[in-house]
Amino acid sequence: MGISISINDVSKKFGERTALRKVSANAASGRVLVVTGQNGTGKSTLLKVVAGLIRPSTGEVRYSDGTSTRDAARFRDRIGFISPELALYEELTALDNLAFFAGLKGVQDPVAAGEALLKRVGLLDRADDPLGSFSSGMKQRVKFCFSLVNDPDVWLIDEPTANLDDPGKELAYSLISERRGRSAIIIATNEKEEVPLGDEAVILGK
Amino acid sequence: MKPSSLASKALLVFMKDVRSEARTRYGVGSIALFAVTSLVVASFAVSPYALEPDAQSAFLWVVLFFSSMSGLSRSFVKEEETRTSVALRMSAEPLAVFFGKLMFNLALMAGVEIVVVPMFLLFMDISPATPSLFFASVALGTVFISAATTIVAAIISKANSKGALFAVLSFPVTMPGLIMAVRMTNASLAGMGFASALSEVAGILAFTVILTTLSALLFEFVWND
């Protein structure tokens, strides 16, 4: 069964600086919520709060099964997360990276899952090359694989087309449309042309 | 999906670190470089003299302690510096990360000691009077240092001046166990039996268990904040 996310009055302060101010939104299972706004309005911070990577100063994020981001251990395996602030192991091969994370997330056959995803993003022929030898666009494709390796119920995408060329952007959009209907998806983006990807949009202001 | 146990996830983290280390050789390189150069320099400096067992045992542990300071923090520091810690946080429970890193630090130290300890015995012209006690002291001391420094490495990985902070924070934590390891090694070199070092053996074991338990309990807060 899918999961819906309820973001309730979430604020985040780093010292005296307010990064996120009382944001409320819902991301229903199978639907896409786009979070947009200027630089520094807290889009990435909001996604990290939803992912359980940082704790909100006030407010909370709840999932439809009753868990909240405070119970990080219970929902970690159900989230896929991709962000410019996340990196994979450059010294390991693309397949080693994906098999490692798939194993940690309890995927039945981690190597097969990694290979299937690399094939989907057109990088199966580079599966055994170290990630450090990849271009930034290719690394972004592998990060998409990382975020999908556990077949997530909740997919959080920060700047989906960062570093991607036009074919890469098309691939990113097609991956999003494939998962529409299966996961609750939240996309944080600066790109105006990506706002229509969402069924709903939240605009963050300073 | 299959339910993966904590042990199998910790093993995955350990194997990942071994694979990374095999490709970069950063940790083993810095530890071995310090250990070998300090051993060679000191052995040349003291070669005309025959050191007493207490000085020999202190010298061995000075080399092993500072060697570990030069490399054991890398497994956590590298995760933060290369921003791979976010992916790791999203994928594994903190305890699996902690025990995986602990196993890796232990394996790293053991790997270096396989080379360094025989070199120490050779260069210093030492033949331990009680070999079993000598190797037990090295093994227990190594386990203790690895257990003590793993949590310190996790703490300092988020700080700015990581290198200096690691040694400064590790020193008081490792001090009690180090003193006991030195005493055990001293007893082995002086020809005393296991019976004479029982309190040190029990002390190191107790410190190791206490430190590992406390570290495991506290690690989630260190790792997630």
Matching residue, tokens 């520094």 = A40
Angle between helices B6-24 and B26-46 (to 10 degrees): 70
- Determine the pLDDT at residue B159: 80
Closest chain A C-alpha to B79 CA, distance in angstroms: 9
Q: Which of A115, A162, A120, A171 is nearest to A140 (CA)?
A: A162
A-chain residues within 8 Å CB-CB of B10? none
pLDDT confidence band for A150 (50 / 70 / 90): very high
pLDDT-based confidence at A72, cuts 50/70/90? Answer: low
**Side-chain half-sphere exposure of A37, counting CA atoms within 13 A:** 21
**pTM: predicted TM-score of the whole model, two decimal places:** 0.90
In angstroms, the CA B21 to CA A86 distance is 21
Query: Is A79 in Cβ contact with B90 (below 8 Å)?
Result: yes
Residue of B nearest to A150 (CA): B1
Residue A149 CA to residue A81 CA, distance in Å, equals: 10
Q: State which residues of chain B have pLDDT below 70.
A: 1-4, 161-163
Q: Best of B9, B91, B158, B224 to disrupt the A interface by mutation (most A CBs within 10 Å)?
A: B91
Determine what percent of chain A is predicted with pLDDT higher than 90.
72
Q: Please tell me the predicted confidence (pLDDT) of residue A206.
A: 66
Buried b (16+ CB within 10 A) or exposed e, A77-95: bbbbbbbeebbbbbbbbbb
According to the model, what pLDDT value does residue B70 have? 81
Are A22 and A201 a contacting pair, CB within 8 Å? no
Dist. CA B53–CA B124, nearest whole Å: 11
What residues pair up with A18 in beta bridges, in sequence order? A13
Radius of gyration of chain B (CA): 18
Nearest-CA distance from A192 to chain B in Å? 27
End-to-end CA distance of chain B: 29
Chain B residues inside the 8 Å CB shell of A77: 1
> CA nearest A74 in B: which residue?
B93
Which chain B residues touch A107 with a CB distance below 8 Å? 1-2
Q: A87 and B87: CB-CB below 8 Å?
A: yes
Pairwise CB contact (< 8 Å): B90 & A51: yes
| Long-range Cβ contact pairs of A177-181 (< 8 A, separation 24 or more) | A179/A148, A179/A155, A180/A30, A180/A31, A180/A32, A181/A30
Residue of higher predicted confidence among B31 and A161: A161
pLDDT of residue A1: 64
| pLDDT at residue B2 in the model | 47
Chains A, B: CB contacts within 8 A come to: 70
Decide: A164 and A140 in contact? Cβ < 8 Å. yes
Question: Contact, B93 vs A106, CB < 8 A?
Answer: no
Best mutation target, A47, A77, A81, A89, to test chain B (most B CBs within 10 A): A89
Helix (H) or strand (E) holding B55: helix B53-71
Q: Could you tell me how far CA B112 lies from the centroid of its own chain?
A: 10
Taking an 8 Å Cβ-Cβ cutoff, which residues of chain A contact chain B?
A: 51, 53, 72-73, 76-77, 79, 81, 83, 85-92, 96, 100-101, 103-108, 130, 146, 150
Closest chain B residue to A87, measured at CA: B84
Given the structure tokens 């080399």, which residue do they identify?
B63
* CB-side neighbour CA atoms (13 Å) of A30: 3
With CB atoms and an 8 Å threshold, state whether A101 touches B13: no
Dig out the tokens for B11 from the structure. 């093993």
pLDDT at position A65 over 80: no
Q: What is the pLDDT of residue A73?
A: 63
Test mutation, B90, B98, B99, chain A, max A CBs within 10 A? B90
CA distance B65 to chain A (A): 28
Chain B hits for A87, CB-CB cut-off 8 Å, are 82-84, 86-87
Average pLDDT value for residue range A54-80: 80
- A91 and B23 in contact by Cβ < 8 A? yes
- Using one digit for the tens of pLDDT, what is the confidence trace for A85-128? 999 999 999 999 999 999 999 999 999 999 999 999 999 999 99
Shortest CB distance from A86 goes to which of B19, B86, B224? Answer: B86
Instruction: Decide if B12 and A104 are in contact by the 8 Å CB cutoff.
Output: yes
Q: What is the pLDDT of residue B168?
A: 83
Pairing of strands A154-158, A184-189: parallel
Q: Do A130 and B23 touch (CB under 8 A)?
A: yes
CA distance B185 to B126: 12
B136-139: list long-range contacts, CB under 8 Å, 24+ apart.
B136/B184, B136/B188, B136/B194, B136/B201, B137/B181, B137/B184, B137/B185, B137/B187, B137/B188, B137/B197, B137/B200, B138/B60, B138/B64, B138/B113, B138/B181, B138/B185
Pairwise CB contact (< 8 Å): B92 & A104: yes
**What residues in chain B have their Cβ under 8 A from chain A's Cβ atoms?**
1-4, 8-9, 12-13, 16, 19-20, 23-24, 82-84, 86-87, 89-93, 96, 224
Separation of alpha carbons B20 and B14, rounded Å: 10
